[in-house]
Structure 1
């Protein structure tokens, strides 16, 4: 069996192995990484040999680290170990993929959903519905692009309502406030000023990755698509995407006990910053700190850097994903929309949920 893992921003790690009596045998590590001294490669192979096939990623990584540390301590190596472009966890992920316990993009067919405009709370409820359906096996992995006609503020699951939202601004601009199921920060979203998608994937796709690594892994295709549109995008911090001109996007995640992962991103296309600072308290502080408060100020990284209409940007993102992954066009089922509307009524529109963190 063979497993491969391309480290985000790093090198390719490959592991060939066999399994006998539920134990790893004939383990052989390879790749285009850099490793010193040469003998460390054999140390890693020996450290993994004999491990149970069910060994979790973290324990496999510890076996690699402990084996190298022991070899250094006993003088079995000609010098200190240097792993460049990969690490012990990357090796463990490649092992898990060889065993079929961790998957790659190519192992899945993604359903692409573009249902058209929906109310903001319905959009948030669909995140929960589709993620739960993947966990229960009712639907496969999905990529869903959002559309909406209302002004809305989406706040993170753990944010304080009163610290984030200005009630007077919300009333003045007829804004719907939505608390989503994922963490992260608040976002002011008018129709046409943002690009948002939700990606629902099995936990096996991010098996062994830290949260920070999983953000970069799941957003890599977005950076490639932005690059094709002329945007010099890069990862910034744990869950943001930025360019030399500033922040472009932010991502958030929610992982369910059933093994499904919700990952979504909102990209700023052309935001009315003055309106945003009237609606979001934290937005007001951030804009003030950066000295960018002014009449008619706009935050428009995607519009200004691509020169493309918002719909064209969405089309390019969808085209890039379809060209690089196995996909099929799909649609929301009536029962899914009904379930989402029921969640709006019983959860997302209730004061108990909206103000669960006062």
Structure 2
């Protein structure tokens, strides 16, 4: 069995092993990390040898840490990262490069249709009828998108939304509210087969699926990092947030994960504060007193046009994993348009948590 895990902000960890009578055998840990002293790598292998295959990540970490020689120093490597790689080997997890990735980047669409497309395309990946897909959104109108479990009245000021012509929709994933205006945000979705994140916790899968965009920002000279649970941050402030929804296997398919991210390219902070109700508790949790300072737009950080930032992101993804041009099929679009009308434009869905 073979498992790989790119530690966020660190290096690649590779684990090869067998499982015999429910125990780990012939464990070999490798990668492009740095580790001192040399004998520490053997200690890690020996710590995992004979471990019950059902040992959870925390149990594997405990075995590794107990076996490390005194004074061991890891660079780009963590015991947690090794444990994830082991769990991915046992789950026979896939890697980014195992797939033919498809790009969808189409005309501006309504907020309700974007919600519906996320659901339909990810369901198609879950059923095995669509390849893993990276979809870049273009907005036809300004919107607030609230998380699946958020209270509508607690998150949105209806008078402010009406005054500024803001459409409010609810998505199927959890997380917080997103404020977007035409041309002022960069939003994308990853619809990926579930085996890509096999062996990972929810938190680990967020970091793993965000790692490529952190690399893309690095190529643009922006030092960005994943900030648990679902933020993309820089020294200047947060630039984006992610949300996920898991879809179970259907029609013999692998199941899928919807991972979507919205980043602020530019933002009208005053308008945002007139539309969103950002509570004091949320602000104190983020360690800042000003909502305006929580988000630092990409326009200021890059000095590049929005289209250029998107192109550089896609180029980075393409170099890493490959990416071919695709489209929403007629059948997928018909289903999405029906869902946009019957579900995502329905006031009962939008206010399902009043």
- Shorter-chain TM band: 0.7 to 0.9
Q: In the alignment, what sits opposite 1:225?
A: 216
**Could you say what secondary structure the match of 1:103 adopts?**
coil
Q: In the alignment, what sits opposite 2:317?
A: 321
C-alpha spacing 1:226/1:341, structure 2 compared with 1 (3 Å): same
Q: In the alignment, what sits opposite 2:12?
A: 12
Residues 273-310 of structure 1: CA distance to partner in whole angstroms, max 9, x if unpaired? Answer: 111111111189959x73577xxx99662111111111
2:102 is the counterpart of 1:106: no
How far apart are the structure 2 equivalents of 1:141 and 1:23?
A: 33
In structure 2, stretches of 5+ residues that fail to align are 250-254
How far apart are the structure 1 equivalents of 2:159 and 2:68?
A: 68
Q: Which has the larger radius of gyration?
A: 1
Please, which of 58, 64, 89 is the counterpart of residue 60 of structure 2?
A: 64
How far apart are the structure 1 equivalents of 2:88 and 2:332?
A: 32
**Could you say what secondary structure the match of 1:181 adopts?**
coil
Preserved CA contact (<8 Å) 2:190 2:260: yes
2:281 is the counterpart of 1:268: no
2:35 is the counterpart of 1:34: yes
Residues 97-143 of structure 1: CA distance to partner in whole angstroms, max 9, x if unpaired? Answer: 54671111111111100122111110011111011111111111100
Preserved CA contact (<8 Å) 2:136 2:188: yes
**Could you say what secondary structure the match of 2:140 adopts?**
coil
In structure 1, stretches of 5+ residues that fail to align are none
**Could you say what secondary structure the match of 2:229 adopts?**
coil
Preserved CA contact (<8 Å) 1:240 1:247: yes
C-alpha spacing 1:66/1:315, structure 2 compared with 1 (3 Å): closer
How far apart are the structure 1 equivalents of 2:84 and 2:110?
A: 39
Please, which of 298, 301, 304 is the counterpart of residue 300 of structure 2?
A: 304
2:160 is the counterpart of 1:172: no
How far apart are the structure 2 equivalents of 1:165 and 1:175?
A: 10
2:205 is the counterpart of 1:206: no
Cα deviation for residue 313 of structure 1 reads 1.2
Alignment of 1:97-136 (within 5 A): 97-98=88-89, 101-136=92-127
2:53 is the counterpart of 1:47: no
Preserved CA contact (<8 Å) 1:183 1:253: yes
Equivalent pairs, count: 341
Q: In the alignment, what sits opposite 1:252?
A: 243
Preserved CA contact (<8 Å) 1:154 1:188: yes
Preserved CA contact (<8 Å) 2:225 2:233: yes
Cα deviation for residue 94 of structure 1 reads 2.8
How far apart are the structure 1 equivalents of 2:108 and 2:7?
A: 37
Cα deviation for residue 237 of structure 1 reads 3.2
Q: In the alignment, what sits opposite 1:138?
A: 129
How far apart are the structure 2 equivalents of 1:248 and 1:354?
A: 26
Preserved CA contact (<8 Å) 2:126 2:194: no
Of 188-197 and 96-105, deviating more is 96-105
Q: In the alignment, what sits opposite 1:160?
A: 151
Of 27-36 and 226-235, deviating more is 27-36
